[in-house]
Amino acid sequence: MATGSFAVDGHVSGFNERITASVVITCIVAASGGLLFGYDIGISGGVTTMKSFLQKFFPSILRNAANAKTNIYCVYDSQVLTAFTSSLYIAGLAASLLASRLTAALGRKGIMVLGGCTFLAGAAINGFAENIAMLILGRIMLGFGVGFTNQATPVFLSEMAPPKWRGAFGTGFQFFIGIGVLTANCLNYGTARISWGWRLSLGLAVVPAAIMTFGALLISDTPSSLVERGKVAQARKSLSRVRGSDVEAELADLIKYSEMAKAADQEPFKTIFERQYRPHLVMSIAIPFFQQLTGINIIAFYAPVLFQSVGFGSDSALIAAIILGVVNLCSILVSSFVIDRYGRRFLFMEGGIQMCICQAIVAAVLAVAAGTSGTKHISKGDSILVLVLMCLYASGFGWSWGPLSWLIPSEIFPMEIRTTGQSISVAVNFATTFVLSQTFLAMLCHFKFGAFLFYACWIAVMTIFVYFFMPETKGIPLNSMYAVWEKHWYWGRFVRRQP
């Protein structure tokens, strides 16, 4: 059988593409890596509004909140508080770049285990934190944890999944991020009533870390990663386990491309800057950058803060966040079902348009309801309208930029630059998250409802970008992906034709 025969528009991979129980279980276990990231996103958003937590570490914010009758947009504007949240992202950025080097020795699975252990240590430090230094140290460890796992897990899923269903398997990562966020939100709702509840919320991050680490120890590494590290016999075993039978064609394909990658024998961080990899480099930067500019983390980190400041009480703020979480989760499931049928571009376009409209209307509602200076009291009805719009927004994100920003970078890179490309992508994701979360509360305070318009404009830009520059990648085996660039109206001029 010809290795890697395929068609770009329909889909014929020439490989055994059966979904076996083994591939499903392996990928569920791996995707649970998303739990770590999701749990942290949800927990930090909630904990930073807990009174006992603020009293212990950030008492000045409580004093501000008490005097905040004047302007709803500025209550939580504190650089120290945002530094606490975003210190994780700087550490994660460093870790993801480091992960690219370490995968050569440890494989994808090894990186996941390493990430799980670091996250576990960070969670323990945070749970027992007595001062800001401990708090930040814990967050840096958590950052290393998610830097490693976010780098390795999406690639693991893409390499393990049968090409025809890679989209559905890939969305698993975002699904677990969503579960993590939701679990954390529910937990915060309970722990907010206990004086040391913040310790529980932060400390219980050891649970997702333990689940993933233990699970990762039980699964085998991806055939691709094993072949890359010269472990062909183990790769055959891993492939037989997940595909069932008929694995020789796929194995031969992996070996062929691994040898080509090795023959190039170059420093991957240099290689990716070659002209022939221009589309890959651009996507590895643009996709995560744009994902963050959807404004999702305003909602994810600060949904409770936001709801509280637009008039919900502190309990109802958490309930609002939970509702958002459920909507998000359901919409990720929707994407799992349609992504391999309608393709990535369709989801990008639909989700983009939906999110753009929602952000624009949120801006308009806030402008009218709270007044352009933010001093008018927002009615319950308007608060609920904002919540409904945010739910619509979250569902648009959940079936487009959420899962796709992890899936696309994990599937577009050829083997020789795959880990580097994915590392760049995670690093850009974290760097952008850092800058945006560091500036969002100040931006909300100064731009007021205009902050939401800012994101609406970016969503319009990224939707146009996808329309013109993002080729469809559904169903195409990873090692045959070069053809989508060759055929692309713009990127075709950069890539070197494959024999």
Judged by the rule CB under 6 A, the positions of this chain that interact with ligand BGC are: 41, 174, 177-178, 181, 291, 296-297, 300, 402, 405, 429, 433
Query: Among residues 277 and 430, whose Cβ is nearest to ligand BGC?
Result: 430
Contacts of 218 (CB under 8 A, 6+ apart): 29
What is the Cα 266 distance to its own chain's centre? 29
Query: Among residues 277 and 434, whose Cβ is nearest to ligand BGC?
Result: 434
Contacts of 84 (CB under 8 A, 6+ apart): 44, 48, 57, 58, 132, 135, 136, 139
Nearest one of 72, 82, 77, 67 to 442, comparing CA atoms = 77
Query: Among residues 433 and 479, whose Cβ is nearest to ligand BGC?
Result: 433
Phi and psi for 138 in degrees, rounded to 5? -60, -45
Residue type, position 315, single letter? D
Query: Among residues 13 and 395, whose Cβ is nearest to ligand BGC?
Result: 395
Query: Among residues 222 and 429, whose Cβ is nearest to ligand BGC?
Result: 429
Query: Among residues 271 and 429, whose Cβ is nearest to ligand BGC?
Result: 429
Nearest one of 146, 142, 119, 134 to 57, comparing CA atoms = 134
How far apart are CB 299 and ligand BGC at their closest, in Å? 8
Which DSSP helix (H) or strand (E) runs through 466? helix 450-469
Residue 119 Ramachandran class (φ > 0 left, ψ -120 to 50 alpha, else beta): alpha
* DSSP state, residue 12: -
How far apart are CB 31 and ligand BGC at their closest, in Å? 13
Nearest to ligand BGC by Cβ — which residue?
300
How far apart are CB 296 and ligand BGC at their closest, in Å? 5
Query: Among residues 93 and 239, whose Cβ is nearest to ligand BGC?
Result: 93
Tokens 């796929």 identify what position? 250
How far apart are CB 168 and ligand BGC at their closest, in Å? 17
How far apart are CB 38 and ligand BGC at their closest, in Å? 6
Per-position b or e across 111-123, b if 16+ CB within 10 A of its CB: bbbbbbbbbbbbb
* DSSP state, residue 491: G
How far apart are CB 407 and ligand BGC at their closest, in Å? 10
How far apart are CB 170 and ligand BGC at their closest, in Å? 12
